[in-house]
Amino acid sequence: MKVYIAGKVTGLPSGEVFTKFGQAEFWLKHNGHEVVNPMRLCSAGWSWGKCMRVCIAEMMKCDAICLLQDWSSSRGAQMEYYVAQMLEMNVFMFIPKKIQK
């Protein structure tokens, strides 16, 4: 299954964003999915609108979206979720496991 990752980007440190999207991408690939990671689609300096147009176009090529835990505090991820719901795409959530010390 081809899966698009949706989560909060705007207003967060880039290292944090790349880490959380990367963790979801790794988990999805490990479980046999083809993954579209929006962090690999947009260039620095692009406007929010340009990024969303590119990301939603790529999301339309997917079978499902995987929501990160913070998706509901993101205007873009909320829009991606709404579109996925309206188009009856599979939707699920990625919840990273805490590492036991």
Per-residue model confidence as pLDDT tens for the chain (101 residues): 999 999 999 888 888 899 999 999 999 999 999 999 999 998 888 999 999 999 999 999 999 999 999 999 999 999 999 999 999 999 999 987 765 55
Residue (of 80, 101, 76, 99) closest to 89 by Cα position: 80
Q: What is the pTM of this model?
A: 0.91
Helix (H, G, I), strand (E, B) or coil at 48: helix
The DSSP symbol for 72 reads G
The DSSP symbol for 8 reads -
Count the Cβ atoms, other than its own, within 10 Å of residue 26: 12
